[in-house]
Structures are given as structure tokens and as C-alpha cells.
Structure 1
């Protein structure tokens, strides 16, 4: 199958980059397939059981996707931003200004959509919506949009350490969460709490997640059609994941770090500490010791967790790019889903709001994933870009076009 790759950031909102170029480029099936896999992973986390009721051990899908699916989303968002801001040769001058304006508009639209979705979610939500955080991801990316790959990779390494340290240092000064999914009402009544949540204390805090975004932008500056680059992406991702785990194993499990965790939080038992490592914090890590920054675990947002999930995301992307070279047509369900993840993720959240998935979770997961795949394939063949993607891209493209050609009508779309 021949696909077309437009410059699009990653899922869940596959809103396609700072602005829409007039010409479209051949699609990289592996990138779309990675977005689709991330979407399926998020669906599984939202619907399927997280532990085995007999052994109380984490399920396979939890071990595979908890934290990692969201990290892959953010990484691919950065890849798309790298594509759409010039790829290997970053845009300059008025074109880059247009890219930034388009991205600002995109951030506003995705944020508004996230707030609207949160408005209809139950008070005890079946899922934690990432759309509002995505708007902040895009906003934080604006100053970095012009940078080359090497600089972006260095900055990603810096934020992987500085972001968690900042979170830990400010933990005691920031307001506590009032809701997991902030609404427009919350933004208007207590904007400071919502802002601190989106930046530092929420489920997908934008400051540490900037690591994934910057690394993805750097990857988007590479020649991802090159076999050599694809193989290096897979290998480097695996090395980074294993290396991060070894840091945890040596410093926490073998060098006394675990004892430091216990002594700094005497109100937590060994079993409760293990639960944080396996299931993640609720909602944030204790700020009693810097040793907490050396544990992995979903949504712990420590340097170890960030680098581990970044490595796994890069490895998945590299593997799917390589796989697409051989069996690209077989990846159609995933790649079609990955081309319209803003639409599918939004529909998935709205369907979850009905709270029907608890009795027969496997059936509902298959319904969500199956309907999403069928709709994506049919819509892509008939219309191309997804429904919500069309709206966001048209509005952001119009804003970008006003910068590139003031006073002239600029075509947005094909």
C-alpha cells in the first residue's frame, strides 16, 4: 500500500504541526503505526484490568503500556513538529514565524477540546484526559521549533534531569490537585491550581514531558527513511531503556537506595513503596528524599522513568519503521488509526464517559479498538484526514497563512 506522510505531530491529537504546507509528502507508515499503537495502548490502560485478580500481579498490558503509551504519544508529537517545521533543514524567517503562529493556534484549539471533553467526564473519571496537557506541550514547544537535531537532543537530556528536580523542589509549594481532569469551570475559578497541575503535578505534567517532545523534534530532524537511521533508532532506544533500568537496579536495589526511601518515609511500608514503583504515585511522589528520583514506574516522571520510557518509545518507532519496509500493508489498521488520533482519542473518551466498560472490559476494549480501526480505514480511504484533524488543520493553517502572505487568501488543505 502506498501511503502519504504529511507533517503531523503525534497522537492523541494528530493535529498536524505548526501550519499546513500546500504540498503533501509521502507518508512514513511506521510513524503512523506507532501513533496507532500508542492509541491502542492508551485504550487498554483505560479499559482492561490492571492486575490479575488471583495473583494481584500487574497484567501484561499494564507492564507494556502504563506510562509508555503516553510517552510514545508525546515523543511522536515532537517527531511531527520536527517534520512540519522543516525536517532536516529547519525553517527560518517568516516561514518559522508562521509555523509558530500555527502551533499557538493549534495549542489553543486542542486545549479547548480537552476542556470540553473533561466537562462531560464523570467526577471519578474512567480515564485521565491528556488533551489539555497536549495543548501545553505545543505551547512549550514554540521557542524550540527552530533548533537543529543535536541541540534538541542535548536539551532533552537536560530536561530529563532538570524537570523532575524542579518538580521535587517545588512539590511542597504547589497547590494540591482538586480534580484529575480540569474543566473550564476550574480554569476560571482557580487558574493557578490548573496551571500548576498541567505543568508539574498532573498525570502528564508538561515540564518533564518536554523531554519526550524535544527528543521527538530531534528525531523529526533526521532522515527517517534511511535504513541506517531506523536501525540506529531501534538500537539507541534499547540501550537507553536498559541503561536507565540498570541505574535503578544498581543505585536503588543494590547500593542502599531502597533503604534510604524507607527511612525517609517511615509511614510507608515496603509493600507500599513497591506499589509506587509498580503502579505509580497517587498523585505525586513523596518529597522527603532525592532518592525518589531514581525509581522507575509509570507516571513517576523521574529521570530514570523519563529516559526509560523515551528509550522504549524510540525503539518502538525504529522497529515499526523497519517493519513497514517489509510488511507496510499489514500495518494498515494501526497506520490508519494513527493518522487521525485526535478524532479517535476524543471519541474514545466520550464513549468511556458512559461508564459501560467495567462489567466486560475485554469486550469493550475490542469494541473500542475494532470500531476505531474500521472507522479509520474507511474514512482515510474516502476522505483522507480525520474529521477533527481537518478542522484544527484548517484553522491553524489559515493563521499560518496570514503570516506567510498577509492580506492574501492561502489555501489550507489539498
Structure 2
């Protein structure tokens, strides 16, 4: 009897097998955690009427978005054609993401949309894509140490000008008419300052160069990340409590304008961190300080390591428990965009009678269900197809340009 010809796999099946499941799981977790911080309060009044951090603020605030950014760097080192080879494709891919982000900025929604900054981070990564692991470790370490100091010095200067470089809203298409203010807001004064957040991408690039399929690397990420996170919080406690940092911040004008004690625990977004060098000593979520970056880099590495280890548990994969979350993680751009649109609709009265917790449950169930459907069929999300097409276009154009240059060169 003639041997059976192996069944040819579809492009969708080959695509699904190329993905590293643990990375998709971590990316899916980051998406769901960001949904929680978007739809549930991070600070709320207690029974006595005083502001205090909620469980969402204590667990997810700052860490979810940081994980999203670190995994962006990891993704640049993965795939059949790494970004270091396809730099023009990465630039085109980032342009698509920026266009989506600028469009979401037009919505009336109480969410700090990260996509434009996400795209700018990709553009900023192009010059460092070919760096080796040692260079990336040194650069990311220096960045974590020095970038917060740079923004601390630049921010008062940009905000003190006659036309302050702060948008006060998500970047949107009309902001392109004032490029200087837009650039200042994206890099220094906005919700996700690129100067500080570039540290996450650098760390992600380094992690992506590791042998992520190896058990020892996965355990190292989990343990090393957890140690870095604990070290950062321990250093913050030493600086803020015994050495008087928190007391000094409570004497600043900001303490009379904001519920600063709760915000230092849950979310420092919107607080003008100026007037005291003690702002640099906190590890508060979204403070962008060295200790905040170190803590959230550590939690991101630990979470990625944990999910890489979970993905090794074959029984979970066989019964399909990992597929919904991994599927959602494989199409985060599409699901994030739909989530923001849905949140804008609900803020406009689109979900009468539905509490915030119920709305979050709807968003999570929808994301996991759609993720499972697309994962089971080996599909990319619609916006993932758009970015993939842009990346392929860049690779074709880059290859064509390189061939043309070689053909014209007299030295062959």
C-alpha cells in the first residue's frame, strides 16, 4: 500500500504553530488587566468618605500597561522575519497602529489610549534592533536609571512655556496641526511618556533574544523578575517612610489638590510631579520613576515567565483551557480597539442598567470568545491582518530597494 501523503497545513495552521503560546497568554492577560483598569476605578471613597486605592488599583494599575509594552519589545524579536531584518516593515506596521490610535483619540472616552505612543516606541526601536544582548542590557539599565531624571527636568520647562506642551487628551488627528505640542506630549508630558516607556521596549527586546522555550530561562524570568519587583518596592519603602520621602511629598501643593496618599499607592496619572526631588523616590504606578520602571519591568518579566511555564503543562493545552486567553493575546490590537469603542458607547448611555463590574465581565467574555474562535481557526484579527500586510509591504519594498542598489553598484 502506498504511503499516505501528509496532509498539507493551511497558512492559518502554520501561523498558529509559529506563535509562542506563553507570550500570547501573557499578552492576553495584559489586555484583560488593562480592561479592568479602564472600566473599574483605581481609587474610590471608603465608608468614611476618604479616598483609598481599590483592588484594581493595587493589583493591576501600572503593571498591565507596562506588561503590554514589554511584550511589544519581545514581539519584535520573534516571528519568522524578525523586525531587525524587516525595519521598513516595522515602520509601516507602526504607521498603521498610529492611525488606529489617532482615530480612537477622536472618541469621547475616559481611557488613556496607548496606541499612538506604542507606535512611536516602535519607530524609536528601529535604530537599536540590531544590538546584541549585552548592549541591550547596558542600554536598558542606563535608560531605567537616567530617563526619569531627564523627564523630571524637561517636564517643568515644557509646561512652563507660553504654549504648554500638554494635550490634556488622547492624541488625535487634529493634533498633527501642532506637531511641537504633540511631540512634547508624546515624549514627556502625556499619559505614557515615550522617553520613560522606551525602557520597557528595550527590556522586551532583550527578553525576546533569550531562548524562551527553555525551562531554565522561564524560571529565571519568573524568579528574577519577582526579585527585581520586590527590590524596587523595598527601596521605595526605605526612601519614603524611614527617610521621610512621603512626609515631604505630603507637604507639597499637590497634596492639597489631589488625594495623594491613595494615588501614591494606585495611580499617579495627572499629578504634576515637580517642586520636590522626592518625586523621583516613589515607585507609584504611572509615576515613571526609576523604581517604578524597575518594579514594573520585574512584574512583567515574572508574569511572562509564569505564563511560559503554564504553557508547558500539556493537559491544560489538550483540554483547551489555554486557548481563549492565548487567542485573545494573539489579536490584542483588534480587541483593544473594539474595547475602547465599546467603552465609549457605554459612557454615552449605550448599556443602561449595567454596572461597571457587569460591563467588564461582558468585555472579558467577548474578548475570550472571539479569541477562541480566531485561535481555533488559525485566523489573524482584522487589524492584525492590516499590520501584517503593512509589514510584508515594507519587507518587499526593502528587498526591492536592496536589489536595485546592488544592481547599480559597480563593485560586485
Query: TM-score, with normalisation over the residues of structure 1?
Result: 0.85
- The alpha-carbon distance between structure 1 residues 85 and 202, as it changes in their structure 2 partners (threshold 3 A), is farther
- Is 1:292 matched with 2:276? no
**How far 1:301 sits from its partner (Å)?**
0.5
The CA distance in 2 between the partners of 1:270 and 1:281, in whole Å, is 13
The corresponding residue for 2:208 is 220
- The alpha-carbon distance between structure 1 residues 48 and 341, as it changes in their structure 2 partners (threshold 3 A), is same
- Is 1:109 matched with 2:101? no
Q: Which consecutive unaligned segments of at least 5 residues does structure 2 have?
A: 1-8, 159-163, 404-412
Contact 1:201 1:283 in 2 (8 A): no
Farther off after superposition, 276-285 or 391-400: 276-285
Pick the aligned partner of 1:39 from 21, 31, 35: 31
The corresponding residue for 1:257 is 245
The corresponding residue for 1:342 is 333
- Is 1:235 matched with 2:219? no
Q: Which consecutive unaligned segments of at least 5 residues does structure 1 have?
A: 7-21, 409-414
- Is 1:131 matched with 2:115? yes
- Is 1:163 matched with 2:163? no
The corresponding residue for 1:370 is 365
- The alpha-carbon distance between structure 1 residues 389 and 271, as it changes in their structure 2 partners (threshold 3 A), is closer
Farther off after superposition, 167-176 or 362-371: 167-176
**How far 1:276 sits from its partner (Å)?**
3.3
* Count of aligned residue pairs for this structure pair: 376
- Is 1:246 matched with 2:234? yes
SS at 2:213 equivalent: coil
Contact 1:72 1:310 in 2 (8 A): yes
Contact 2:42 2:267 in 1 (8 A): no
The CA distance in 2 between the partners of 1:152 and 1:280, in whole Å, is 29
Contact 1:71 1:212 in 2 (8 A): yes
Which deviations, in whole Å up to 9, do the C-alpha atoms of 1:170-199 show, x marking residues without a partner?
1122125233212111221x2211111111
**How far 1:102 sits from its partner (Å)?**
0.8
The CA distance in 1 between the partners of 2:179 and 2:200, in whole Å, is 26
The corresponding residue for 1:184 is 173
Pick the aligned partner of 2:185 from 197, 203, 220: 197
The CA distance in 1 between the partners of 2:254 and 2:138, in whole Å, is 39
Contact 2:43 2:262 in 1 (8 A): no
**How far 1:115 sits from its partner (Å)?**
0.5
Cα RMSD between the aligned structures? Answer: 2.5
Q: Which has the larger radius of gyration?
A: 2
Farther off after superposition, 287-296 or 377-386: 377-386
Alignment of 1:248-327 (within 5 A): 248-263=236-251, 265=252, 268-269=255-256, 272-326=259-313, 327=316
Contact 1:285 1:300 in 2 (8 A): no
Pick the aligned partner of 1:360 from 355, 361, 368: 355
Contact 2:57 2:267 in 1 (8 A): no
The corresponding residue for 1:50 is 42
The corresponding residue for 1:402 is 397
Query: TM-score, with normalisation over the residues of structure 2?
Result: 0.85
Pick the aligned partner of 2:342 from 351, 354, 357: 351
- The alpha-carbon distance between structure 1 residues 291 and 407, as it changes in their structure 2 partners (threshold 3 A), is closer
SS at 1:79 equivalent: helix
The corresponding residue for 2:322 is 331
The corresponding residue for 1:13 is none
Contact 2:331 2:380 in 1 (8 A): yes
Which deviations, in whole Å up to 9, do the C-alpha atoms of 1:208-252 show, x marking residues without a partner?
111110001000000000000000000110110001011111112
Contact 2:44 2:54 in 1 (8 A): yes
Contact 1:102 1:397 in 2 (8 A): yes
The CA distance in 2 between the partners of 1:163 and 1:212, in whole Å, is 12
SS at 1:57 equivalent: strand
- The alpha-carbon distance between structure 1 residues 366 and 406, as it changes in their structure 2 partners (threshold 3 A), is same
Contact 1:32 1:336 in 2 (8 A): yes
The CA distance in 1 between the partners of 2:325 and 2:16, in whole Å, is 21
